[in-house]
Each structure stands twice: as structure tokens, then as C-alpha cells.
Amino acid sequence: MSSPSTPIGSRLVVRSVRRAHRARRVTIATSPNEMMKNFPLNPHHEIKETFADTLGNVFFDGQALRLEFTVGRMNELKAPATTPTGERHVVARLALTLPCTIDLINQMRSLAGQLSQAGLLKTDGAESKPRTN
């Protein structure tokens, strides 16, 4: 049963150490939001809110998602029958890590479900489209 070089008592110690190690394993959070939801929130009221009416460039480089938020500025109309002109201005840029990007996607899916239930978002198959009146 036991070899002369390994006494039975040491096997019991090894097994109990392995069990204790398994019991101490920390589960890895599935998202940054999940991991940090118990952290206290410091609101930092000095941070300005930025308004954007369109999403500009979106780029994923394999490590970070980069988003540009833009706002349209209309030029003054010269004549009533002319086509409106204007410019888009970048008002904010965000760079999100991959875990944060996944968290954003999950939260947007949840929001889309809530908007759909409220009748504000019409879902056709796998795509979600804003409701048009």
C-alpha cells in the first residue's frame, strides 16, 4: 500500500493541504462591473457631462475599443429653399479595455431588452432597430 519512502502521515498532510488550497480559490469575476459593484462610488461632480448626438469612428485594435462621440453643428441657412449644411465635431473620445467593452455590450443588450419591453425598440429577429413613427 504505502512505499517505504512515503509514510502514511505525510499523505494525509498533502491531501489536507490540497483541500485547503481548493477551498481558498477565488472565483474570477465575469466583468469589471461584477467585480467592482461592491466598491463605494465617488460621483466626482466636477466632471462635466458631454452631449453627443452621433457616434463617430469606432475601432477595436484587439486590446481596446476606441469610440468617438460627435455633435452636429448646423450652419446658418442663407435662403429658405437651400439644403442645410454644417459640420460634425468630435466632443469626446473613449478607450475601453476588452473586459470593459464586454461589460458595455452586456449592459447595452440589457438596455435594449428593456426598451423593447417598453415598446421603444422594435426587434426583428437578431437585429434591434429603433421604433419609427
Instruction: Domain ranges for the chain, please list them.
Output: 51-74+85-123
Which of the pair, 14 or 103, is modelled with greater confidence? 103
Asked if the model's pLDDT at residue 32 lies above 60, the reply is yes
Q: pTM for this one?
A: 0.61
Distance CA 78, CA 61 (A): 43
> DSSP states of 51-68 as a string?
--SEEEEEEE-SSEEEEE
Asked if the model's pLDDT at residue 3 lies above 60, the reply is no
pLDDT at residue 78, rounded to an integer: 79
End-to-end CA distance of the chain: 80
Q: Percentage of residues in the chain with pLDDT exceeding 90?
A: 44
Q: What is the pLDDT of residues 52-106, one digit of tens each?
A: 999 999 999 999 999 999 999 998 887 777 788 899 999 999 999 999 999 999 9
Q: Percentage of residues in the chain with pLDDT exceeding 70?
A: 68
pLDDT at residue 6, rounded to an integer: 44
| pLDDT average, residue stretch 111-123 | 90
121-124 and 86-97 strand pairing: unpaired
pLDDT at residue 122, rounded to an integer: 86
Distance CA 71, CA 87 (A): 8
